A and B are shown apart, each in its own frame.
Chain A
Amino acid sequence: MSDLTLHPMKEIRIIIEGEQLKFATDLLDKKATGYTIIHNISGKGHHGFHTSHTMFNDVDSIVMLMTVVAPENVEPILAGLKPLFTKHTGVMFVSDVAVSRLEYFSTPAKDK
């Protein structure tokens, strides 16, 4: 444990409608080295309560994306997503985190 070095990074959590997932992952494909998707989440927001998924519909659900990026990549990701929230339900959070394997999260973004 003694030689463990932690590097500061930014964690972004994005909660959006299932229909917007492809757009968000396309964006993260360009600016992040990876992400985690949690499908079918529930919760309450400005539009009332959103239940988790139903058996026969994978589109009208709410999903959460989590990613960790270098601080300089936060701005382009937020700028890319911001217009979406002018019309659609969803939120984004940015928080400070630390990672041990810096190279794992900060490999230069690969444009498609």
Chain B
Amino acid sequence: MELRAQIQLASEIIAYYWPMRTFVHHNPLHGLEEFPFDEAVRRGQQYLGGKGYLPGAQFRQYYRAGRIQPRHLEAALAAQVSDATADCGGRALTRLQVARAQLLHDLSVPTDDHLAEFWQNHPERAEISTLAERLGAEGSGPSEKREPATGPTELLSSWCDRTFGTQLTEMIDRELIKWCSAFLDEGHSTWAMPRRDEGFYSAWRYLAQREWSPCGIDHNREKINSLSNRPEDALLESLVALGVAPAVWQDYLSQHLAALSGWAGFIKWRADQTEYDWQRAYPIDLVQYLAVRLWYERELVQMTWEANLGVTGSIDTLRAQIGADTTANRETTDTHATMRDACRLIALARALELEPASLAKSPAETLSTLLQWLDGFPEAQQSAVWLRAFEAGYREPLIERLLANNLATRDFDTAQRSEGESPSTAKFKVRPQAQAVFCIDVRSEPLRRNLEAIGDYETFGFAGFFAVAIRHRALNSEHETDQFPVILKSKNLVREIPRSYQGQYLSRLQHRERLVEAGHTLLYDLKGNVITPYVMVESLGWFYSLPLFGKTLFPNWYRRATEWLRHKLVPPLATTLTVDKLSREEVEEMIAAEQRATTRRALQEKFGERNLNLSLERLEYLRCRAIDEASAGEPSPQARSTALSREEEAIFIEDLRRDYGINQGETFARMEWITRTGFTLNEQVLTVETTLRMIGLVRNFARLVLLCGHGSTSENNPFEAALDCGACGGNPGKPNARVLAAMANKPLVREQLAKNGIVIPPDTYFIAGQHNTTTDDIELFDLEDLPPTHRKDVVQLIRDFARAGALSSQERCARFPEIGRKLHSSKAKRLVRRRSNDWSQVRPEWGLSRNAAFIVGPRQLSRGVDLEGRVFLHSYDYREDRDGRLLEAILSGPQIVAQWINMEHYFSTVDQEVYGGGSKIYHNVAGRLAVMSGPQSDLRTGLAWQTVMNGDHPYHEAMRLVTVVEAPYRRVEAIVERQHHLRRLYDNEWLHLIAIDPEEHAFYAYLAKQGWQPLEKISANGGQI
């Protein structure tokens, strides 16, 4: 039991990894958020080997380009470095000067292996030698005082690799990748791994015994066979055999999990999904994974010890060897240390424009002090300072622009507003042409801005799931999608069903769809078979040339042609959603009607030639008997029939139960299924009211209110879901928008809302839509329900959206490196569509790259400001939220989603290899759940190179998100005070927080562990906002 807890804690170093068909942006160091940011990235480096900041050279480039301002760097530096001076050859040097030189000049010195070569090629090697001799003689360098860095306990396999030149860790990784990719496969492979239903550990035991000496391990059959059936015991046995002390188990296991953090992260996620079909069918957890992994380590390490040390593996022998190894190397290390110190001092002298000779004249204490200063401001601290200056360089102009915008267009003075008027509606004295609610996603911002510039539109931002946390089952789909942020739990199920008048076409279309599906499956099977591909190439190979040339040479044309063909074969059905929850009585009656129809069909199929009694009473009697024999009672005279003998009737009842599913279990299951569907009236009222109040849309409704989710389209892109809506769990937001629109249009809901103070005029109509972020096209849904009175409004809306979309495409095209200039809007539109359809395009869109801020407030705060598609915009009117509960919901929900997105981009940018996804060019889809680089690698869990990098330079600016909230800062303060997890994020600097207090007309910043400070005061003191 305790071991499981140790594994639970050990696994905190790795993050969940969701299957990429619903890519969830996450913080790869989420498990370390309890630590300050700088400490967490240090631990990330220790365990995962990932860098936590951009390289110094990149920051220096930003500095030279003016992106980092000297004043911001000075302020960040002053907060980090103490004031001290040292005399160097008659010139007084301050510690600040030394630290600044470290930042602005590359003073790094190569590692021991390359030091000699570096020295040989150095123009001042004579000075370096002299200084090194002096440092060595005087012992000025602090090298001997330096304690070796305390890190995690080294894996024994890694120690063997380092000491004996083996490749044990790589071998273990390869084995685990092999077994995990076979076991976790979700329908990608043609031949499935046998015995998966017994669980990972058992399936591995069964198969690994049958391998021929895996990794050179002899007698593997006997060894594996002798392992315990319980993975816990096997793991424990391996830990004991390796001699790992219980006190370091957690640390040791963390490193094993970190070795393949992608696979382990996926297993960690999957093990926690009790409802996940694949997990239910083929269970796996980290205990099983570690039991297998440590068995390989134990066997391989013992083999290596035997081969190299001639002993049969004991930790004591190993310890003795480690001690000898350290002593032997100490002398060499000391020589290297003085040489390196001399190189560093010479480089420092150059950076400070000092003659190297002045160092020779300096007393030993000065040299010692300078080295201590250099050591006291290591690269990690330098990066932290750079990062703060980098962030200030974005934050300060943002705040200034918001301030200027508000001074120009808006007055905070409440006296100027009439009673009850909200800031968001203050501009609109008449009803706006239309109102549109978009997702907070940064890609909505350009579209909103352009739409507002075209017509008298009022726009709002709300997390794209629109407060509708649904599991959604699309028409003809066998699976449900979770349409809500992953930090929420599912609430209600909504199904897409054909509209009533389409019923007659349904079966025909389903039949055709099944044929198309069967065709796909047949082709797939033929391709996967051992023999058939030889025949297929000859007979059907030509068929594949059509898509090959079409997709490559004419992607737009090919897409249109295939869509046309698909519509001809399977025309789309008009559908609706099951928004309303049925009462228990309604459900019972619905199921009874279905079962009576089935009973009738069954009777006709079996005894069609007889003179049957098919009356309602008779069917009901047979149905009741099939469900519960005892409660059916005696048949009424109308329910009796002489067509069937007593025995025949009893057999028929059995058939109904067995073959037609009319039995108690099926009925309960169906009841459960249907009653989970939809929302009660109260739930609908609450959902609509919450949404409208939160965004401040409670009066002055336009005739048309668009609820606009978003999705994306791209070809041959395993990362497609990363471009969809994060607030909808990595799915397109269409179902959520449709559900909310349906609710808001219901007279009963509006009636209740009016009682709660939100009066929606009868001529206001809510309509659902979806913004395609790759093409900037808008699609509207459920137009069948649109009243004829609103036809012209919708036509105008479509026209204006097309124009706004073209302008957004124009903006986006200018950011693609291969275009890089402003195109005519029609050409831009054509190009973005081509990108969307082009199967060789590795960057269909930039997605959420360059995201930097999260603004919570009325649109008036930012309306008219070009935020360059970098800001999450959440509408909020503090006047509609007296107790701060709505703001609390925004900060603890959508803000967290935005922070995860921000951190995913941050870490993917600072270390593509460890946290990022690597180049798409080398990606291979593994098991339909993720990608690997090349034929075999760890799962690449982060964002691809092409998403965050522009060539060799970062496109995404790796900064922590800044949240700007317009609300009385006391209210924000109270929320931070009572929400422990939010306070932790701000105090540990995973997020920055600024409050704009409209009542005090003041800006406040939350400083980590110091609380709130007015911005003027911070600026006046030379600090950063």
- Contact status B5-A84, CB under 8 Å: yes
Chain A nearest Cβ from B18, distance in angstroms: 14
When each residue 866-889 of chain B gets 1 if its CB lies under 8 Å from chain A and 0 otherwise, what string results?
000000000000000000011011
Q: B1001 on the interface (CB 8 Å rule)?
A: no
In the complex, chain A residues whose CB is within 8 Å of the CB of B5: 23, 80-84
Q: A50 on the interface (CB 8 Å rule)?
A: yes
How many Å lie between the Cα of A77 and that of B981 in the bound state?
A: 27
- Contact status B980-A48, CB under 8 Å: yes
Q: Do A55 and B893 contact each other (CB < 8 Å), given the known contacts A23-B8, A48-B980, A87-B9?
A: yes
Q: Choose among A26, A60, A86 the residue with the greatest number of B CB atoms under 10 Å from its CB.
A: A60
B window 886-940: CB within 8 A of A: 886, 888-890, 892-894, 896
Q: A22 on the interface (CB 8 Å rule)?
A: yes
30 residue pairs A–B, Cβ–Cβ below 8 Å: A22-B274, A23-B4, A23-B5, A23-B8, A26-B4, A48-B980, A49-B977, A51-B978, A55-B893, A56-B485, A56-B487, A56-B889, A56-B890, A57-B487, A58-B488, A58-B489, A60-B979, A77-B1, A79-B2, A80-B5, A81-B5, A83-B6, A83-B8, A83-B250, A84-B5, A84-B8, A84-B9, A87-B9, A87-B34, A89-B980
Q: Which B residues contact A (CB, under 8 angstroms)?
A: 1-2, 4-6, 8-9, 12, 34, 250, 272, 274, 463, 467, 485, 487-489, 690, 885-886, 888-890, 892-894, 896, 977-981, 983
A window 83-112: CB within 8 A of B: 83-84, 86-87, 89
- Contact status B1-A54, CB under 8 Å: no
In the complex, chain A residues whose CB is within 8 Å of the CB of B894: 56
Q: How many residues of A contact B (CB 8 A)?
A: 30
In the complex, chain B residues whose CB is within 8 Å of the CB of A22: 272, 274
Q: A76 on the interface (CB 8 Å rule)?
A: yes
Q: Do A49 and B488 contact each other (CB < 8 Å), given the known contacts A22-B272, A54-B889, A82-B2?
A: no
In the complex, chain B residues whose CB is within 8 Å of the CB of A26: 4
Q: Do A54 and B888 contact each other (CB < 8 Å), given the known contacts A79-B1, A87-B9?
A: yes
- Contact status B893-A57, CB under 8 Å: yes
Chain A nearest Cβ from B900, distance in angstroms: 11
- Cβ-defined partner of B979 (8 Å) among A30, A54, A56, A80: A54
A window 1-53: CB within 8 A of B: 20, 22-23, 26-27, 30-31, 47-51
User: Of all chain A residues, which has the CB nearest B694?
Assistant: A55
- Contact status A80-B889, CB under 8 Å: no
How many Å lie between the Cα of A86 and that of B980 in the bound state?
A: 18
- Contact status A83-B892, CB under 8 Å: no
- Cβ-defined partner of A60 (8 Å) among B489, B690, B892: B892
How many Å lie between the Cα of A23 and that of B1 in the bound state?
A: 11
In the complex, chain B residues whose CB is within 8 Å of the CB of A87: 9, 12, 34
How many Å lie between the Cα of A33 and that of B679 in the bound state?
A: 33
In the complex, chain A residues whose CB is within 8 Å of the CB of B978: 49-51
- Contact status B888-A50, CB under 8 Å: no
- Contact status B9-A47, CB under 8 Å: no
- Cβ-defined partner of A54 (8 Å) among B485, B489, B893: B893
In the complex, chain A residues whose CB is within 8 Å of the CB of B489: 58
- Cβ-defined partner of B2 (8 Å) among A51, A55, A57, A80: A80
How many Å lie between the Cα of A77 and that of B690 in the bound state?
A: 41
In the complex, chain B residues whose CB is within 8 Å of the CB of A60: 487, 892, 896, 979, 981
Chain A nearest Cβ from B757, distance in angstroms: 19
- Contact status A80-B4, CB under 8 Å: yes
- Cβ-defined partner of B487 (8 Å) among A58, A76, A77, A81: A58
In the complex, chain A residues whose CB is within 8 Å of the CB of B463: 56
- Contact status A59-B2, CB under 8 Å: no
How many Å lie between the Cα of A81 and that of B2 in the bound state?
A: 7
How many Å lie between the Cα of A27 and that of B980 in the bound state?
A: 26
Chain B nearest Cβ from A15, distance in angstroms: 13
With A54-B892, A60-B981, A89-B980 already in contact, 4 other A-B pairs whose C-beta atoms are closer than 8 Å: A50-B978, A51-B979, A56-B894, A80-B5
Chain A nearest Cβ from B269, distance in angstroms: 11
How many Å lie between the Cα of A80 and that of B9 in the bound state?
A: 12
